Structure 1
């Protein structure tokens, strides 16, 4: 029987640090699986885009192949979210990996038509939010509902940002030595390795809920419950709204680099600046700030995170643009505290569906934000579009901050939490 301990003041308790998360054996397996599958997906996206272009010589179909990585998230996350709560998490994660591996296996078969390649890409993208939401919910079982969970989520988020930066470089180099289908074959191995790690590196646990309704009805019911709760709805929108506008300068990096007369190397700096700022800030916030402080900065930082974009009105040069993007990326670190709120507010039986829906929405609003920024740039100069994104995004974020405050989106100061060792911790 585990010993029950209680912390008196979370404000006086320093954060446990990222090293504490890696001491949990199951998390190490989840981390390794995440890293493998993520690198594989990024490489496969590049290779599949090149393969489709080689087969069709169509820029439109090549671009569509990349876009299909985002578009099905909303459908998959809405219609299949019930899977995350209805079935045991380990089984869901392993089956998702095996389905993705099967899709990749068909992609690498010579002679697979382009229409089939695109359909398989859609299937993998539709599965992704179910996998991610289930894993997020499973982390509360592995790490508890306290600080370890927040830091674990932070680690996976940092890895996602870093793997995207590294993966595009690795994919480009890889395609110089192997064919696109050869690069995609590596993804088959990463999905299978991820499935093995999750199957033998994590414990079997029962399903969170046992619904008798049809799967899609149960998934839609979960979405209705999420948005019917004013507190949860405000938290979800805090994840989504700033994200929708923060992607504008990334989507328009190429035309802005041309506008300021910068070369190809400058484009790389503009694309990397925001992820670098986000990673650096998230590591600092996770390592240095206490859980209570992270909770307190959520609303002010969420409201101010897009303010750096207002300086685009002055058409900044390369150096200042990079600095502004780093600052905007750093503003995203408020999500650590928001993770605390979300896991403390969402009922356990709804957690898988809520996290799947939240993940699907994040990808969807990013795609929508990029598309809207591109559309606006057809009519206005790029620097004005980014400035407008900053103005509109800040106004909406401030309205949302006000709603979150009124709705009591921040959980009560005193909350019973469990850490990754099974101990109870009283957060105040």
Structure 2
């Protein structure tokens, strides 16, 4: 059901003035406002079940590979096979997502993910599993993700409309982080009690929930979005579209730097646990839980926030980088662990703000391609940055590696912030008078007037 001619997209900001004032429409009320929409409730319920299963499989899969090979390199290969398809083919997935009905495409991708989990479960429980089987299922899952990610991202606005998009994106992130808290814990119990195969089985069965939710949706209540017709050059068209929109390209650039250099927590946390604090797997699990808890808090706070400005994205990225540097220099374990909570919170804020801002600033016919580029840069950068970050960490120590990642994130935030400020005709205003914002970006004309008045 469409709510009118302007229901499917926000005005596309192309001018510097628009860049200065870009914000999403204020949601209709409350942290969980999107859940009043039946179709989104079905979607969210299915996702929390399948996300929990996915986290269970991730933990069990890594443990199985380590058990079969005794090699951390083999675990790294498994991770790379999951992410490389998005890096290499992500843009093509966006083209397909723009052409196809997204609900129908999601029915296919979610079913395929369930099949890969069941296949790995059958091999493991029968005692025939070999490491190449795990590699193959990891690659298959990565290939399915190439289509699933842009389709799932772009389908959100069809369920809730533009007014509730930011809230729905935030709740999706809260959903994912909740599963991140539950899934590994359940997987640990299952692996210890009955083996990895049962975790794979439950993951495969968990996809029944999102498939059922998609089938139960009332299609008449979906917001109509025009699909891109088949044609040549649509991939290049999508890249040209993003390149000509500074309000899209610069947030994607910022997310790319942070995703490549600032989100390598498995490398840093394992190095800290082993080399700095000389602890065990339980401590590693505790640190991941603290970060996931901070991310969950960040998602819920983002759901309450009524607007999504590019300045919020830049500010969150700067604080994220500075917190990483601070944590890298923390002398005591308790301080390091405590700082992981706000790091998780601001990392999630970056993701939600960039995601929702880019979606609403994009023409509906281009949304799949733009979001595939966003996800390709954010997720696909990790396999590229991880070897470099890992080498720095091995060569110079965990503190230097973590500090370097934070420094790159902070510098990227400053650089992108300066570019956006110049494009938006803004300048930095410092006002030390009591009761005034001490530091703020304001239009250049206003800054000159305020300076003269002072």
TM-score normalised by the chain length of structure 1 = 0.83
* CA drift at 1:233: 0.8
State whether structure 2 residue 258 is matched by structure 1 residue 245. Answer: no
Looking at structure 2, the residues matched to 384 and 170 of structure 1 have their Cα atoms a distance apart, in angstroms, of 34
Which of 373, 378, 381 pairs up with 2:389? 373
Could you say if the C-alpha distance between residues 173 and 137 of structure 1 is closer, same or farther in structure 2, counting changes exceeding 3 Å? Answer: same
Q: Which moved more, 1:369-378 or 1:220-229?
A: 220-229
5+ residue gaps, structure 1, are 5-9, 411-428
Aligned pair count reads: 402
Segment drifting more, 22-31 vs 397-406 = 397-406
Aligned counterpart, 1:418: none
Q: CA separation of 1:196/1:329 partners in 2, compared to 1, >3 Å: closer, same or farther?
A: same
Asked if the contact 1:235–1:409 (Cα under 8 Å) also holds between the matched residues in 2, the reply is no
CA positional deviation for 1:365: 2.2
* Offset of residue 152 of structure 1: 0.7
Give the match for residue 404 of structure 2.
Answer: 388
The 1:336/1:120 distance shift into structure 2, 3 A limit, reads closer
Counterpart for residue 405 of structure 1: 421
CA contact (8 A) 1:55 1:114 kept: yes
Matched, 1:258 2:274: yes
Q: Provide the C-alpha distance between the structure 1 equivalents of 2:43 and 2:27, rounded to a whole number of angstroms.
A: 25
Match of 2:158 among 118, 141, 145: 141
Question: Are residue 267 (structure 1) and residue 273 (structure 2) matched?
Answer: no
Of 201, 204, 212, 2:230 maps to 212
Q: Is the 8 A contact 1:37 1:190 kept in 2?
A: yes
User: Shift in Å at residue 211 of structure 1?
Assistant: 2.9
Q: Distance in 2 between matches of 1:299 and 1:138?
A: 26
Q: How far apart are residue 113 of structure 1 and its match?
A: 5.0
Distance 1:367 1:407, change over 3 A: farther
Give CA deviations for 1:388-411 in whole Å, capped at 9, x if unaligned. Answer: 22222211221112223334599x
Shift of the 272–220 alpha-carbon distance from structure 1 to 2, 3 Å rule, reads farther
Would the aligned equivalents of 2:311 and 2:417 in 1 still touch at CA under 8 Å?
A: no
Tell me the TM-score normalized by structure 2: 0.78
Task: From 299, 303, 308, give the equivalent of 2:314.
Answer: 299
Q: 1:24 aligns with which of 37, 44, 62?
A: 37
Counterpart contact for 1:244–1:366, Cα < 8 Å: yes
Alpha-carbon contact 1:68-1:125 (below 8 Å) kept: yes
2:440 alignment counterpart: none
Q: Distance in 2 between matches of 1:57 and 1:208?
A: 51
Alignment of 1:125-140 (within 5 A): 125-140=142-157
Distance 1:13 1:341 in 2: 13
2:173 to 143, 148, 157: 157
Q: What is aligned with 1:100?
A: 113
Q: Pick from 134, 137, 151: which aligns with 1:120?
A: 137
Classify the secondary structure of the residue corresponding to 1:377.
helix
The Cα RMSD (Å) is 3.2
Does 1:358 find its partner at 2:371?
Answer: no
Distance 1:323 1:409 in 2: 39
Q: Is the CA contact (8 Å cut-off) linking 2:55 and 2:183 kept in structure 1?
A: yes
Equivalent of residue 184 in structure 1, options 190, 196, 200: 200
TM-aligned CA deviation for residue 326 of structure 1 = 2.1
In structure 2, do the counterparts of structure 1 residues 212 and 15 end up closer, same or farther at CA, with 3 Å as the change threshold? Answer: closer
